């Protein structure tokens, strides 16, 4: 099939590359000149493992192309995906739909033949219907159908999630059964390669598909906030949060994923989507108190983590050198959006700490967002040099492999504050380090005598 993808950002680029790998001919429309130039030259403006190879392979095969002419891109296509950004709106936290509506207006002005217009951007309930209304107003004679096909991609594992998803969600206008069936047939064709591995496709109405995206991300965020609260309780009562999480996760009704304690969730999805769902629920007089609490717990978590670091450093970090390992909100991405490091490092800087930071891929993204006093190091060794304490903020595998002797040799102090629980407490303590983790008060001990 011939497909147009409006938006060459994270979702649009990954989706376009994977659809072209399925064998479809995909034309990506990107209006940002710098991003477009990079893509046309095979350069990937975001960090996502394997994406550069996938993009360049399909560009060479002639299945994937990039441009800024929407009329040319959507000529003779069977489907147009809208995959532009929906960031939180300044002031109120609602999803900003200006880019979605602009894309819809441009599609209406350029389309001539029947096409299925599919919303892949994360949008509030009712947006797909509003897109259809705008298109009909601007081009009353156009024959088209609207669909909602939300994405469920994890940064750092997006290609795997797209190629081997748990499910595909497609919302259609079920009030028109015949047209709905036609849309379903087209989407089945687009996703046909996944039928070979028996990926379920769930067809719903438009509102259900839109809500499923928000509900899924908010539920996962809620699991993270819950286990973080349990970690704090474990610290108070002497329990081990990892044992608690395992005991919970072995219950198939709960599952093991997203039960890993840390400094709070961040990234492009969870903070934005929980906030948006909270507002959607309020607007429809069906407030979601659990989502509201999840947001509050997460914000408090980041503040508490900064206080925890200060406490483990003897109650003050003034004029102390802290080695910060990891800046991005999670490993295998350069995304700094709502990363816990933003608020934590700001607080440490305000308290007079000298910060030496290292992240394998995120430092250039982090630089304009963090205090100007932060010193960015070229490797772990440089970050550790003369450090009074080491703080683990992101669980990169590079950090997991660090031997305790290496840490002790290269740093000045003995304090290890592991907010991701990537190290074994016993080995840390045996070499004489003061090790502190999250939710493992029974294991986070001072050096053995």
Q: Which residue is associated with the tokens 């209406």? A: 108
Known binding residue 144? Answer is no
Known binding residue 94? Answer is no
Angstrom distance (rounded) from CA 272 to CA 122: 10
Contact 443, 437 (CB under 8 A): yes
Known binding residue 258? Answer is yes
Known binding residue 111? Answer is no
> Which residues partner with 118 through β-bridges?
81, 147
Query: Which residues are within 8 A (CB) of 399 and not within 5 positions of it... i.e. 6 or more apart?
Result: 325, 326, 380, 392, 422
Among 18, 269, 313, 377, the active-site one is 269
Known binding residue 154? Answer is yes
Known binding residue 85? Answer is no
Q: Which residue is associated with the tokens 């990954």? A: 14
Contact 260, 245 (CB under 8 A): yes
Known binding residue 192? Answer is no
Known binding residue 141? Answer is no
Known binding residue 259? Answer is yes
Known binding residue 384? Answer is no
Q: Which residue is associated with the tokens 């891109």? A: 73
Known binding residue 122? Answer is yes
Known binding residue 86? Answer is yes
Known binding residue 9? Answer is no
Known binding residue 272? Answer is yes
Angstrom distance (rounded) from CA 311 to CA 88: 34
Known binding residue 35? Answer is yes
Chain CA centroid to CA 388, Å = 32
Known binding residue 266? Answer is yes
- Is 377 among the residues known to form the active site? no
Token couple for 303: 């503040």
Token couple for 137: 């107003």
Known binding residue 219? Answer is no
Which residues sit in the known binding site for substrate? 152-155, 213, 258-262, 266, 330
Q: Which of the residues are catalytic?
A: 269
Which residues sit in the known binding site for NAD(+)? 35, 86, 122, 155, 272, 337
Which residues sit in the known binding site? 35, 86, 122, 152-155, 213, 258-262, 266, 272, 330, 337
């Amino acid at each position: 099939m011939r497909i147009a993808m409006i938006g060459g950002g994270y979702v649009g680029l990954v989706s376009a590359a994977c659809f072209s790998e399925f064998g479809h001919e995909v034309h990506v429309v990107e209006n940002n000149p710098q991003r477009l130039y990079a893509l046309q030259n095979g350069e990937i403006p975001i960090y996502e493992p394997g994406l550069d190879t996938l993009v360049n392979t399909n560009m060479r095969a002639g299945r994937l192309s990039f441009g800024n002419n929407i009329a040319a891109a959507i000529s003779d296509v069977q489907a147009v995906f809208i995959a532009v950004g929906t960031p939180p709106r300044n002031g109120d936290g609602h999803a900003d739909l200006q880019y979605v509506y602009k894309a819809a207006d441009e599609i209406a002005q350029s389309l001539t033949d029947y096409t299925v217009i599919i919303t892949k951007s994360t949008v509030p309930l009712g947006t797909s219907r509003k897109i259809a209304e705008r298109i009909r107003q601007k081009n009353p004679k156009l024959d088209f159908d609207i669909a909602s096909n939300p994405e469920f991609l994890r940064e750092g594992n997006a290609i795997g999630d797209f190629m081997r998803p748990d499910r595909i969600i497609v919302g259609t206008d079920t009030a028109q059964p015949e047209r709905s069936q036609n849309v379903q047939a087209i989407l089945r064709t687009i996703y046909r390669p996944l039928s070979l591995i028996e990926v379920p496709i769930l067809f719903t109405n438009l509102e259900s598909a839109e809500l499923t995206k928000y509900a899924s991300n908010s539920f996962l965020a809620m699991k993270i906030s819950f286990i973080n609260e349990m970690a704090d309780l474990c610290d108070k009562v002497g329990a081990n949060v990892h044992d608690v999480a395992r005991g919970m996760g072995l219950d198939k009704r709960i599952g093991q994923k997203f039960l890993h304690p840390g400094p709070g969730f961040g990234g492009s999805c969870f903070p934005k989507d929980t906030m948006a769902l909270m507002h959607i629920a309020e607007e429809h007089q069906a407030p979601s108190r659990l989502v509201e609490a999840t947001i509050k717990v997460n914000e408090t978590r980041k503040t508490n983590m900064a206080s925890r670091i200060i406490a483990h450093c003897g109650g003050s970090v003034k004029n102390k050198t802290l080695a910060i390992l990891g800046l991005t909100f999670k490993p295998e991405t350069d995304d700094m959006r709502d990363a816990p490091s933003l608020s934590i490092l700001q607080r440490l800087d305000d308290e007079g700490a000298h910060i030496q930071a290292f992240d394998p891929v995120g430092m250039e993204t982090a630089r304009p967002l963090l205090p100007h006093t932060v010193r960015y190091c070229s490797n772990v060794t440089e970050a550790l040099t003369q450090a009074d304490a080491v703080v683990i903020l992101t669980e990169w595998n590079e950090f997991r492999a660090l031997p305790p002797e290496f840490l002790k040799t290269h740093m000045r102090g003995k304090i290890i504050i592991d907010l991701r629980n990537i190290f074994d407490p016993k080995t840390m303590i045996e070499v004489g380090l003061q090790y502190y983790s999250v939710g493992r008060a029974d294991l986070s001990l001072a050096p053995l005598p």
